Amino acid sequence: MNMEYSGRDTERTSQLPATVDAVVIGAGFSGLYMLHRLVSLGLKVQGFEAGSGVGGTWFWNRYPGARCDVESLEYSYSFSPELEQEWRWSKRYSEQTEILSYINHVADRYDLRPLIRFDTRIVSQVYDETRQMWDLVTAQGQSIAARFCIMATGNLSTPRVPDFAGIELFEGKWYHSALWPAEGVDFSDQRVALIGTGATGVQMTPKIAQQAKHLTVFQRTANFSVPARNAVLDDEADRTHKASYPARRQQAARTSFGISGVPAPTRSALDLSPDERARSYEAIWAQGGSVYFLSTFTDLLTSKAANDTAVEFVNRKIRSIVRDPKTADLLSPLDHPIGTKRLCVDTEYYETFNRGNVSLVDVRAAPIEEITATGIRTADAHYEVDAIAFATGFDAMTGALREIDIRGKGGLTLAEKWVHGPTTYLGLMVAGFPNLFVVTGPGSPSVKGNMVHSIEQHVDWIAGCIAHLRSNHVAAIQPQAAAERDWVAHVNEVADGTLYPLADSWYSGSNIPGKPRVFMPYVGGIAAYSAICRDVVASGYRGFALVGDTSAL
C-alpha cells in the first residue's frame, strides 16, 4: 500500500505554537475554506493534514477513472467571484488530477499552505473544562491547545482496507482505490481482479479494461449506473455558465441537491402513460448525470411504485447494452430502489462487459473465501491474477472522527457517545463537546448533494458562529441535549419518509461489519436545511448553550 508521504521530517517536527485560537483538521475543500475564513476573521489558526499535500479526497483517490459525479462548474467554490471566473475546467466532469490542481491553486492563491502542518495526524483531542480549551496531540507527539476545533476530516476518508484471509500471501501487488500510488499503476499485460462495484469500481472498470490483459470484476451487489455523457467543456459553455454564475449559485442554494440548472420535477412518474414516461427517461438518459436522472419525476425517492418504473427502465437499458444475457442479468440490480444507494455515473461501464478481456464473477452466489499466493478463491473457483484492485469503499461519515481519541466534557469519548450511531445537532456540533465543529457531519445533507456547496454553507455558518462568540466574549458553545435529540429524531423521520432506508449502504453504515445501522445524512434537501441553520442563528442560536465569559479567562 502506498501512503505517499513526502517525508518532510524537519517540517513535521518543528515547533508548533503552544496555543492558537482554532485548529482545523483536514486540508481538503472544507479545511482550506475554513482556514481562509478564520484568517479573514483575524484568528490565529493551525491546520493539520495527514497527507503530504492539500486536496483531501482528491489527494488520496488517484485510481484510474476517478472524477466527481457533480459537474465541475458546480463542484467548485463560490466564495470568490474572481476565482470562479479565472479557473478554466476542461471537461463537464473533470478528472481527479484537474480537481487536485484546482485545490492546489486555491491553496496558493489564498496563501493557505503555510498555515498547514502536513504529514501530521491528530491522534488525541481532549477538552479541558477549566480552561475551556482543547488540548491536541499529533502522531509525532507534539501538543497544541486551541479554543476551537474544526473537524474538516471528510465523509469518505477512512478507506475500508480489505481484511480477506490470506492477503499477506498474495505474490502480486494489490491496491486500494483510496490509497492509490501517486505515480499510477501500469496494468499492461496483467490479469487484474477488481473487487467492488460501487461508484469507484464503476469508474475503474472501463479504464483498467483498456489496459489489462484480462480484467475480472468481482461483484457482490449490482449497482445502478447512468451515463455521464462527459465531454470537453467548450468556450461557449464556459462563457455562458460564468456569465450567470451569481444567479446560478443562488439558484443552487434553493434546490435539494445544491446544483443549478437541473429542472425541478413537476410530475409524478405515475401520472404519465408508459410511453410518455419512457420518453422522459430516454431524454434524461441521453443527457446524462445522476441528479438529472433522479430529478425526472417528483417521487422517485419517495414512492416505490414510481421508483419501480425507473428501475425497470435502467434494467432494460442494461439488457440492451450488454450482449451476454447472463452477464446483463447479473449487472441488473434487484435488491434496492434506484437512487437509495449512490447512483453511479459512468463512461461505458456496461459496454465494457462486451469486451473479450473482461469477465464478471458473482461473489454473492459464491463468496470470496480467501486470497491465495496467485489469486482469489471463491466458494466455487480459483481465479489466477497478477494484481488486485480493491474498490471496497470507506468507513463513511464517522470513520475519520472515530479514529481520533476525542474526549469531551467529563472525559466522555466521541466513540462512546456514538456507540449506537452518531448524534449531532444540525450535523454541526455534538452535545458534550463544546467548541468542536464538524464540517458536513452526520445529520447534515453532506453527501446527499453538491459537497462543495454544503461545505461552504457549513464553513460560513461556523465562521459566523465563531465571530459571534468572539464579539460577545462567549467562551464556549455546545448543543443542548434536547435539541440534539430532536434533530436526530427529525433526521430519522425525514429519512423514513423516503425510500433510502430500504437499501444497505454506506449511508447507513451497513457496509462496515458491527457498525451501528443508522441513516446518517439529512435528506430533507439543502435548501430546507440551510433555512433551518439560518433560522437557528436568527433566533439567537436556538438549541445551543453559550457559556462562559472570555473576558474573565
Question: What Cα–Cα distance (Å) separates residue 434 from each residue in 104, 473, 475, 526?
Answer: 32, 15, 9, 25
By CB under 6 A, the residues from 440 to 479 that bind ligand NA7 are 447
Tell me if 342 contacts ligand NA7 by CB under 6 A.
yes
Strand 387-390 and strand 173-176: the pairing is parallel
| Eight-class DSSP state of 264 | P
Tell me if 154 contacts ligand NA7 by CB under 6 A.
no
Distance CA 390, CA 522 (A): 29
* Closer CB to ligand NA7, 45 or 452, in the complex: 452
By CB under 6 A, the residues from 389 to 448 that bind ligand NA7 are 391-394, 447
Q: How many residues bind ligand NA7 (CB under 6 A)?
A: 22
Tell me if 124 sits within 8 A of 144, measured CB to CB. no
* Closer CB to ligand NA7, 314 or 474, in the complex: 314
In the bound complex, what is the minimum distance in angstroms from residue 172's beta carbon to ligand NA7?
18
Which residue is at the shortest CB distance from ligand NA7?
198
Distance CA 302, CA 261 (A): 22
Site map for ligand NA7, 217-236, x if CB under 6 A?
-x-xx---------------
C-alpha cell at 416: 462512546
Stretch of residues binding ligand NA7 (CB under 6 A), selected from 20-28, 191-199, 399-407, 419-427: 191-199
* Closer CB to ligand NA7, 165 or 247, in the complex: 165
Q: Is 427 left (phi over 0), alpha (psi -120 to 50) or beta?
A: left
| Residues in contact with 543: Cβ distance below 8 Å, sequence separation at least 6, in sequence order | 425, 479, 480, 482, 483, 484, 486, 487, 536
Tell me if 65 contacts ligand NA7 by CB under 6 A.
no
AA identity, residue 262: V
Tell me if 199 contacts ligand NA7 by CB under 6 A.
yes
In the bound complex, what is the minimum distance in angstroms from residue 176's beta carbon to ligand NA7?
9
Distance CA 311, CA 66 (A): 26
CA 397, 514, 167 angle in degrees (round to 5)?
90
* Closer CB to ligand NA7, 199 or 465, in the complex: 199
AA identity, residue 173: K
Question: Nearest-CA neighbor of 423 among 488, 337, 372, 495?
Answer: 488
In the bound complex, what is the minimum distance in angstroms from residue 254's beta carbon to ligand NA7?
23
Tell me if 93 contacts ligand NA7 by CB under 6 A.
no
**Across 43-176, where does the E strand assignment appear?**
45-48, 116-117, 122-128, 133-138, 143-151, 173-176
Question: Nearest-CA neighbor of 427 among 437, 417, 442?
Answer: 442
Tell me if 103 contacts ligand NA7 by CB under 6 A.
no
C-alpha cell at 25: 483538521
Tell me if 289 contacts ligand NA7 by CB under 6 A.
no
Choosing from 26, 201, 258, 521, the residue that interacts with ligand NA7 (CB under 6 A) is 201
Distance CA 356, CA 468 (A): 63
Distance CA 431, CA 127 (A): 13
* Closer CB to ligand NA7, 226 or 430, in the complex: 226
In the bound complex, what is the minimum distance in angstroms from residue 520's beta carbon to ligand NA7?
13
Stretch of residues binding ligand NA7 (CB under 6 A), selected from 85-93, 189-197, 207-215, 294-302: 189-197
* Closer CB to ligand NA7, 169 or 366, in the complex: 366
* Closer CB to ligand NA7, 333 or 434, in the complex: 333
By CB under 6 A, the residues from 510 to 529 that bind ligand NA7 are 511
Choosing from 363, 430, 474, 495, the residue that interacts with ligand NA7 (CB under 6 A) is 363
Distance CA 535, CA 347 (A): 42
Contacts 24+ apart (CB under 8 A), 416-424: 418/516, 419/516, 420/516, 420/518, 421/509, 421/516, 421/517, 421/518, 421/520, 422/397, 422/398, 422/518, 422/520, 423/484, 423/485, 423/488, 424/479, 424/484, 424/487, 424/488
* Closer CB to ligand NA7, 449 or 543, in the complex: 449
In the bound complex, what is the minimum distance in angstroms from residue 367's beta carbon to ligand NA7?
7
Stretch of residues binding ligand NA7 (CB under 6 A), selected from 213-221, 284-292, 297-305, 397-405: 213-221
* Closer CB to ligand NA7, 159 or 479, in the complex: 159
Tell me if 198 contacts ligand NA7 by CB under 6 A.
yes
Tell me if 141 sits within 8 A of 147, measured CB to CB. no
Choosing from 22, 195, 233, 474, the residue that interacts with ligand NA7 (CB under 6 A) is 195
Tell me if 156 contacts ligand NA7 by CB under 6 A.
yes
Tell me if 197 contacts ligand NA7 by CB under 6 A.
yes
* Closer CB to ligand NA7, 16 or 194, in the complex: 194
In the bound complex, what is the minimum distance in angstroms from residue 391's beta carbon to ligand NA7?
5
| Residues in contact with 186: Cβ distance below 8 Å, sequence separation at least 6, in sequence order | 211
Tell me if 176 contacts ligand NA7 by CB under 6 A.
no
In the bound complex, what is the minimum distance in angstroms from residue 413's beta carbon to ligand NA7?
26
Tell me if 200 contacts ligand NA7 by CB under 6 A.
yes
Distance CA 339, CA 225 (A): 9
Distance CA 280, CA 287 (A): 11
Residues in contact with ligand NA7 by the rule CB under 6 A: 156, 177, 195-201, 218, 220-221, 342, 363, 368, 391-394, 447, 506, 511
